[in-house]
Amino acid sequence: MLYSKSVIEASAEGVLCVKVMTDEQMEVLRSQISAYAAICEQLVEMHRTMIAHQDSLSGMRSGHLFPDQSSGGAKISAKQRWTPTPAQVRILESIFCHGNRTPSKQRIKEITSELSRHGQVSETNVYNWFQNRRARSKRKQAFAAPSTTESEAEEESPGEKKAKKKMHFHDS
């Protein structure tokens, strides 16, 4: 290796410094760093373009040709939660009461179209609402069922419980 300066240099403070790269290697490293920086800038620009494109597509997915067409141009970002308007809740509840299950994809599209007249909503919001509503309904039913049997058990006297046990024993 050829160094333009000596391998070991003495500094003013008396500390020895060791040169690890030649001037040629340093120049190659500088050009590589410069190329890497240019690539990073291009990647950032590509990322921005892709995000803008995805935002425009999300407007089309929710039934609108242009992203600004939905409810005054406001967008629901991935981090924001959808809160249905009271009118949307009434419509969703009435549909849920008629058929206690998650609607088909086509029916979800129809419901989304109807709900979009009352505020911003996506098909994913509608699907998730039905999934959550069904889960709440099942939880409520499961919670209600044991509480009635517990209240019946509390009303029975110890003598009635013994009589029931004897009846079950004799029936077997």
Task: Identify whether the C-beta of residue 149 lies closer than 8 Å to the C-beta of residue 116.
Answer: no
The per-residue b/e assignment along 131-156, b for 16 or more CB within 10 angstroms, e otherwise, is eebeeeeeeeeeeeeeeeeeeeeeee
Does 138 reside within a domain? yes
Same domain, yes or no: 55 and 15:
yes
Q: Are residues 52 and 81 in the same domain?
A: no
Q: Do the domain assignments include residue 31?
A: yes
Question: Does a structural domain hold residue 47?
Answer: yes
The CATH number given to whatever domain includes residue 106 is 1.10.10.60
- Looking at the fold, whether 86 and 144 belong to one and the same domain comes out as yes
- At residue 171, the 3 state secondary structure works out as helix
CB 59 within 8 A of CB 51: no
Name the helix (H) or strand (E) containing 142: helix 123-155
Q: Do 48 and 86 fall within a single domain?
A: no
Residue 64 inside a domain? The answer is no
Mean pLDDT over 161-171 rounds to: 53
- Whole-model pTM: value is 0.41
Within a domain: residue 95?
yes
Based on the fold, state whether residues 53 and 96 are members of the same structural domain: no
Asked if residue 112 lies in contact with residue 62, where contact means CB atoms within 8 angstroms, the answer is: yes
Co-location of 55 and 109 in the same domain: no
What confidence tier does 55 reach under pLDDT thresholds 50, 70, 90?
confident
Instruction: Write a three-state SS string for 68-136.
Output: HHCHHHCCCCCCCCCCCCHHHHHHHHHHHHHCCCCCCHHHHHHHHHHHHHHCCCCHHHHHHHHHHHHHH
Domain co-membership, 101 together with 134: yes
Q: Is the pLDDT of residue 163 over 80?
A: no
Reduce the DSSP state of residue 16 to 3 states and report it: strand
- CB atoms under 10 Å from CB of 129, counted, come to 23
The residue type at 169: F
Secondary element (H or E) of residue 41: helix 23-61
Number of domains in the chain: 2
Same domain, 15 and 41: yes
CA-CA distance, 30 to 24, in Å (whole number)?
10
Residue 42 lies in a domain: yes
* Residue 33: inside a domain: yes
Pairwise CA distance, residues 163 & 7, whole Å = 102
Which of 75-79, 114-118, 158-162 reaches the highest mean pLDDT?
A: 114-118
The pLDDT score that the predictor gives to residue 145 is 77
Q: For residue 110, what are the domain limits?
A: 77-154
Q: What is the mean pLDDT of residues 24-44?
A: 92
Domain-located, residue 164: no
Q: CA-CA distance, 142 to 82, in Å (whole number)?
A: 27
Q: 59 versus 39: which is more confidently predicted?
A: 39
